[in-house]
């Protein structure tokens, strides 16, 4: 992307609105370290206006009064308009966060459109009311699924478009309205989302976007006009939001960090497993929450796996994320690069053995060499803390029970994988793992199945019908007669 992207307004109440603050937030390319654009920083009063617009839209007949089929069709129009802008969205994300373009085309271009279409179908097919015979007294109860209300959706920078859509699509299907706050590193792509919403003629105020960092996020989370918070980000911020929402008795979905394991069984095909680990453990240069970054290998196969994983990692292309052959782009920011390098240094000082990588390469761009630590102890820092960069830790185990115990010996529980030539054995392992999702010889998110974490990885689930249900509240209406 060569030309700068300058945005001057905020998308609030279906209009482009001048911000109440003159402050601007610069966007820096992680590849060139040069500024590539900027956008306005919202003032607290802009958040007030956005929440008020969302509250008004929630009750207006053109949104609240839609039949399931009309709501589904509004969502489908939005999907079609976003589809037309998929390439623009993907390249804008790559320019901001360094995501390899092939991945961005799928995850940030196509996937948000797929999610809207999936939830449009669900909006049409999920009954809003059901009747039940009441007990113990004879009568009838109508159980209604009503929209939870105004949703504050807060997104991180690693997959800004699709993780926003994890929230927006089910919220729209439920009849909610939304105030989205993207991460300051990746806000420019949300302007494309706004343009699609306008072109799709979504009613004014159904989607609103405010800009800024943690301060604006905190202000939005605690805003009296918000009914639910949907957050994806770090565990530290999630704990803070959870405390605030607890005090306010405000429902919150918290999708947080991870430190998942790839459990390689003794019958696994080495080549297929190691090939599969590239995407299961290193997607988006390791800046993906569910990555299997602790690689558990049978002790008697430790050296063969260490060699194979080292050559796989060293063989993947590092470079310009706009080059389709690139697997590892730069990390999102200087701050993130320095965080990853300091964790690598700490692991080194704890006696970790590096078989490839371990440094920032010479030259411009927030790159970190893809790095493998061999012989890692599961109690060491590198095995316990989320790195969020291209760093794998190989941990040897003795027998299966030991491997399952190591997998579960983590503060987190978000993803994970098992690699085996016997799928039934893999499913048996999956049943024993303390996690919100788990893959057998793969790890592919499924729009139709719940996704989320246990332990420090979060609360609640997104995706699937369960994701829709999290934007609905239930009302029981008791009738005296059947
Ligand atoms: P972050 O927590 O710093 O920020 C995430 C978003 O929250 C940003 O928009 C930020 O401005 C905002 N924010 C930060 N503190 C806030 C607060 N106290 N109140 C309200 N808003 C606040 O996280 P990040 O660095 O942008 O993202 C990386 C983290 O996100 C990693 O830990 C990663 O594991 C996690 N993540 C989790 C998932 C998942 O689905 N579980 C997916 C992607 C990323």
Tell me, what CATH number does 242's domain have?
3.40.605.10
Could you report the per-residue pLDDT of 414-429, keeping only the tens digit for each? Answer: 999 999 999 999 999 9
Q: Structure pTM?
A: 0.97
Nearest CA to ligand 1 atom 37: 256
Nearest CA to 151 out of 480, 467, 379, 481 is that of 467
Cβ contact 166:463 at 8 Å: yes
230 lines ligand 1 (CB under 6 A): no
Tell whether 319 and 379 lie within a shared domain.
yes
268 and 219 in a single domain? The answer is no
Is residue 452 included in any domain, yes or no? no
395, 467: one domain:
no
Short-list 240, 257, 265, 285, CA closest to 384: 257
Tokens of 124: 């049409």
pLDDT per residue over 199-235, tens digit each?
Answer: 999 999 999 999 999 999 999 999 999 999 999 999 9
User: How far is 292 from 278, CA to CA, in rounded Å?
Assistant: 10
- The candidate with the shortest Cα–Cα distance to 261, out of 378, 344, 167, 374, is 378
Tell me the C-alpha to C-alpha distance, in Å, between residue 209 and each of 106, 215, 272, 467: 23, 15, 43, 21
Q: Give the chain's domain count.
A: 2
What is the tens place of the pLDDT at every residue in 103-118? 999 999 999 999 999 9
Q: ω before 136 within 30° of 0 (cis)?
A: yes
- Ligand 1 center to residue 199 CA distance, Å? 30
255 is catalytic: yes
Are 294 and 395 in contact by the 8 Å Cβ rule? The answer is yes
Q: What is the CATH number of the domain that holds 343?
A: 3.40.309.10
Query: Would residue 446 count as lying in a domain?
Result: no
Identify whether residues 297 and 378 lie together within a single domain. Answer: yes
In a domain, 237, yes or no: yes
User: Helix H segments across 43-156?
Assistant: 44-59, 61-64, 68-84, 86-97, 101-104, 111-125
**Residue listed under structure tokens 């004014």:** 204
Q: Mind listing the pLDDT tens digit for each residue in 13-32?
A: 999 999 999 999 999 999 99
- What's the gap in Å between 240 CA and the centre of ligand 1? 11
Mutate to test the pocket of ligand 1, among 30, 182, 234 (most ligand atoms within 8 A of CB): 234
Residues 87, 129: one domain? yes
Q: Report yes or no on 411 lying in a domain.
A: yes
Indicate whether residue 237 lines ligand 1 (CB < 6 A): yes
**Within a domain: 451:** no
pLDDT, average across residues 37-61: 98
Nearest to 440 by CA among 462, 416, 461, 464: 416
The residue whose two tokens read 């974490």 is 453
Residue 460 Cβ inside 6 Å of ligand 1? The answer reads no
Query: Is there an atom of ligand 1 within 6 Å of 221 CB?
Result: yes
Note whether 83 and 148 are same-domain residues: yes
Is 400 in the same domain as 272? Answer: yes
Same domain for 265 and 252, yes or no, is: no
DSSP structure class, residue 352: P
Residue whose Cα lies nearest atom 15 of ligand 1: it is 214
Report whether residue 214 contacts ligand 1, using a CB cutoff of 6 Å. yes
Q: How many residues does the chain have?
A: 482
pLDDT of residue 482: 73
Percent of the chain with pLDDT over 70: 100
Q: Are strands 391-397 and 292-298 parallel, antiparallel or unpaired?
A: parallel
Of 255, 271, 434, 466, catalytic = 255
Query: Residue 338 pLDDT more than 80?
Result: yes
Which pLDDT tens digit goes with each residue over 270-296?
A: 999 999 999 999 999 999 999 999 999
Pair 462, 155: CB distance under 8 Å: no
Residue 156: which domain range? 5-256+457-478
Instruction: Kindly state whether residues 229 and 329 are assigned to the same domain.
Output: no
Question: Please, which pLDDT band fits residue 3 given cuts at 50, 70 and 90?
Answer: confident
Is the pLDDT at 2 greater than 80? The verdict is no
């Amino acid at each position: 992307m060569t030309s700068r992207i300058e945005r001057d307004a905020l998308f609030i109440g279906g209009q482009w609105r001048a911000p109440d603050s003159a402050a601007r937030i610069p966007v820096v390319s992680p590849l060139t370290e040069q500024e590539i654009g900027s956008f306005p920083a919202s003032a607290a009063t802009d958040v007030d206006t956005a929440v008020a617009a969302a509250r008004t839209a929630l009750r207006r007949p053109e949104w609240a009064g839609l039949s399931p089929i009309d709501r589904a069709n509004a969502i489908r129009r939005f999907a079609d308009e976003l589809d037309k802008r998929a390439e623009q969205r993907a390249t804008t994300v790559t320019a901001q966060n360094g995501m390899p373009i092939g991945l961005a085309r799928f995850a940030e271009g196509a996937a948000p459109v797929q999610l809207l279409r999936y939830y449009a179908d669900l909006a049409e097919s999920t009954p809003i009311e059901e009747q039940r015979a009441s007990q113990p007294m004879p009568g009838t109860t109508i159980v209604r699924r009503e929209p939870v209300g105004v949703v504050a959706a807060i997104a991180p920078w690693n997959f800004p478009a699709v993780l926003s859509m994890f929230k927006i699509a089910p919220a729209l299907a439920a009849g909610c309205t939304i105030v989205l706050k993207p991460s300051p590193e990746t806000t420019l792509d949300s302007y494309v989302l706004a343009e699609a919403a306008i072109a799709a003629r979504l009613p004014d105020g159904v989607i609103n976007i405010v800009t800024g960092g943690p301060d604006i996020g905190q202000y939005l989370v605690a805003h009296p006009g918000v009914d639910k918070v949907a957050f994806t980000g770090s565990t530290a911020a999630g704990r803070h939001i959870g405390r605030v929402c607890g005090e306010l008795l405000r429902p919150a979905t918290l999708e947080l960090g991870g430190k998942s394991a790839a459990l390689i069984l003794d019958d696994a095909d080495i080549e297929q497993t190691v090939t599969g680990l590239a995407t299961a453990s290193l997607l988006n240069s390791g800046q993906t929450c569910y990555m299997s970054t602790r690689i558990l290998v049978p002790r008697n196969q430790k050296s063969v796996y260490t060699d194979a994983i080292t050559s796989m990692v060293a063989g993947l292309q590092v470079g310009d994320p706009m080059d389709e052959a690139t697997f590892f782009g730069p990390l999102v920011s200087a701050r993130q690069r320095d965080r990853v390098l300091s964790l690598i240094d700490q692991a080194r000082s704890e006696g970790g053995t590096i078989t490839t990588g371990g440094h920032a390469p010479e030259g411009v761009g927030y790159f970190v060499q893809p790095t493998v630590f061999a012989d890692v102890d599961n109690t060491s820092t590198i095995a316990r803390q989320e790195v969020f960069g291209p760093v794998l830790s190989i941990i040897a185990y003795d027998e299966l029970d030991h491997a399952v115990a190591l997998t579960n010996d983590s503060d987190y529980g978000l993803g994970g994988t098992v690699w085996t030539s016997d799928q039934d054995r893999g499913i048996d392992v999956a049943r024993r793992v303390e996690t919100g999702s788990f893959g057998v010889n793969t790890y592919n998110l499924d729009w139709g199945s719940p996704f989320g974490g246990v332990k420090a990885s979060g609360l609640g689930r997104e995706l699937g019908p369960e994701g829709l249900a999290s934007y609905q509240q239930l009302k029981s209406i008791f009738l005296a007669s059947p």
